Amino acid sequence: MTILVAGGAGFIGSHLCERLLGLGHDVVCADNFSTGFRQNLDHLRAQSAFTLVEQDMTDPASSLPASDMIMNLACPASPRQYQLDPLGTLRANLLGTMNLLELAGRWRAPFFQASTSEVYGDPGVHPQSELYWGNVNPLGSRACYNEGKRCAETLCVNYHRHRGQPLAIARIFNTYGPRMDPDDGRVISSFIVQALRNEPIELFGGGHQTRSFCYIDDLLEGILACAFSVEAFSGPVNLGNPQETSIRAVAEEIIELTNSRSRLIMRPMPEDDPRRRCPDISLARHLYRWEPRTALTAGLLKTISWFDGVLSR
Ligand code: NAD
């Protein structure tokens, strides 16, 4: 198949392009490089099955080569980056998703949407199943992302219902691994960078809030299972690691694994930061027999090793 990966120069997208090429597919990566990097794809550029196109998905994209499947990951994903340009984030989610859905209709191609656990907001139920509608502040500083992603899901579902668009939606929970942007302020990347530099590690709100962290290789297996099962189920499906960990425990483990002299310093909790986040993955287990296999320590060691290489360059 020829597969269009929108947002393929980012953290998850670059791993996805690599994995799809490894499976024998042709890959067209379209990206505006707003938060992704060409060097994430340098090792793929020589492959004839790989095409890289500079394209902002909020603009008309009529020159993209027709593909057999579209995978939409094109959206800034870290709070620091999506809050830098809230209108751009909304445009990516609304216009970008709509443009890609129109292309999918024209090409008769199935559509995969990378959604997010942020659609659950600061959740009132634990763990979060796909049936939970969420608790989102539509006016807060995170709303450009979480309301944008909610509306992108609504677009997808309505193209499915009213135009018969074959569809898969994955609600992705916090994912980590090599090629995260060291400067994007996400928890694991920030803690690893601060620990490797022996700088203080900033804990917001005391670090008692919890997250569940999924290693990139595990997430990719889930994404592939989801995207290639559009005939069986249209989604949404939670993809994440159900092992819930406090942010403080993650910081302490990273300090230990890096033999760091960093100390923990406390910062106030940012606006609308969720206190707990943990996926119920019963549906993914049932549909795809999928569940994460990488223990946090093993995934952290691989990620630390990659960041160590990047920082010492
Ligand atoms: P990322 O920022 O590394 O990647 C996003 C990519 O999309 C970048 O390459 C960026 O340049 C590109 N992009 C952004 N706006 C675009 C536009 N208008 N046109 C074309 N390209 C555009 O983020 P990521 O962590 O790889 O996340 C990928 C997707 O997965 C996002 O949609 C994100 O919402 C979703 N997601 C990620 C996580 C996570 O933990 N990483 C969790 C939940 C959901």
Q: Which pLDDT score, from 0 to 100, does residue 243 have?
A: 94
Whether the per-residue pLDDT at 200 is higher than 90: the answer is yes
Per-residue pLDDT band for 207 (boundaries 50, 70, 90) equals confident
Residue 131 lies in a domain: yes
Indicate the pLDDT class of residue 197, thresholds 50, 70 and 90. Answer: very high
Same domain assignment for residues 144 and 46: yes
In a domain, 197, yes or no: yes
Task: Answer whether residue 13 shows pLDDT above 80.
Answer: yes
Same domain assignment for residues 117 and 258: no
Residue 287 lies in a domain: no
Residues contacting ligand 1 via CB (< 6 Å): 6-7, 9-13, 31-36, 56-58, 73-77, 92, 96, 114, 116, 172, 174-175
Return the pLDDT at 245: 92
Does residue 288 sit within a domain?
A: no
**Ligand 1, from 73, 119, 187, 238: best to mutate by most atoms within 8 Å of Cβ?**
73
pLDDT at 154 > cutoff 80: yes
Cis (ω within 30 of 0) for the bond into 178? no
Q: What's the CATH code of the domain at 184?
A: 3.90.25.10
pLDDT band at 297 (very low <50, low <70, confident <90, very high): very high
Within 10 angstroms of residue 295's Cβ, the number of other Cβ atoms is: 12
d(CA 216, CA 35): 18
Q: Mean pLDDT over all residues of the chain?
A: 95
pLDDT the model gives residue 62:
79
Report the C-alpha gap between 176 and 300 in whole angstroms: 8
- Residue at 77 is within a domain: yes
pLDDT (average), residues 120-132: 94
The 10 Å CB-count burial string (b at 16+, else e) for 127-143 is bbebebebebeeeeebb
Regarding whether 25 and 168 lie in a shared domain, the answer is yes
Q: Is ipTM beyond 0.85?
A: yes
**What is the mean predicted confidence (pLDDT) over 207-212?**
88
Residue nearest to atom 4 of ligand 1 (CA): 10
Shared domain for 74 and 13, answered yes or no, is yes
Q: Is the pTM of this model over 0.90?
A: yes
The per-residue DSSP string of the chain comes to -EEEEETTTSHHHHHHHHHHHHTT-EEEEEE--SS--GGGGGGGTT-TTEEEEE--TTS--TTSPP-SEEEE--S--SHHHHHHSHHHHHHIIIIIHHHHHHHHHHHT--EEEEEEGGGGBS-SSSSBPTT---B--TTSTTHHHHHHHHHHHHHHHHHHHHH---EEEEEE--EE-TT--TTS--HHHHHHHHHHTTPPEEEEGGG--EEE-EEHHHHHHHHHHHHTTTTT----EEES---EEEHHHHHHHHHHHTT----EEEEPPPTT--S---B--HHHHHHH-------HHHHHHHHHHHHHHHHT-
Ligand 1 test: best mutation among 12, 71, 145, 149, most atoms within 8 Å of CB?
12
Residues 184 and 72 in one domain: no
Q: What is the set of active-site residues?
A: 145
79 and 141 in a common domain: yes
Q: Give the pLDDT band of residue 174 (cuts 50, 70, 90).
A: very high
Do 185 and 113 lie in one domain? The reply is: no
* CATH number for the domain harbouring residue 137: 3.40.50.720
Tell me what the mean pLDDT of segment 145-172 comes to: 98
**Residue of 16, 34, 213 with the most ligand 1 atoms within 8 Å of its CB, for mutation:** 34
Same domain, 222 and 259: no
Taking CA atoms only, the protein residue closest to ligand 1 atom 2 is 76
73, part of any domain: yes
pLDDT in tens, 221-258: 999 999 999 988 988 999 999 999 999 999 999 999 99
| Mean pLDDT value of segment 58-66 | 90
How many domains is the chain built from? 2
Instruction: Give 276-290 pLDDT, tens digit per residue.
Output: 889 999 999 999 999
183 and 77 within one domain: no
Average pLDDT over residues 95-111: 98
Higher-confidence residue of 162 and 271: namely 162
Q: For residue 155, tell me if it sits in a domain.
A: yes
Rounded to the nearest whole angstrom, what is the distance from the C-alpha of residue 312 to the centroid of ligand 1?
26
What's the average model confidence in pLDDT over 72-99? 96
What is the model's pLDDT at position 208?
Answer: 87
- Quote the domain boundaries for residue 304: 177-212+243-278+293-312
Residue 285 located in a structural domain: no
**Residues 64 and 81 grouped into a single domain:** yes
- Give the pair of three-digit tokens for residue 68: 């057999």
Same domain, residue pair 207 and 222:
no
Which pLDDT score is estimated for 33?
A: 97
Q: Are residues 229 and 272 in the same domain?
A: no
> Does 273 have pLDDT greater than 80?
no
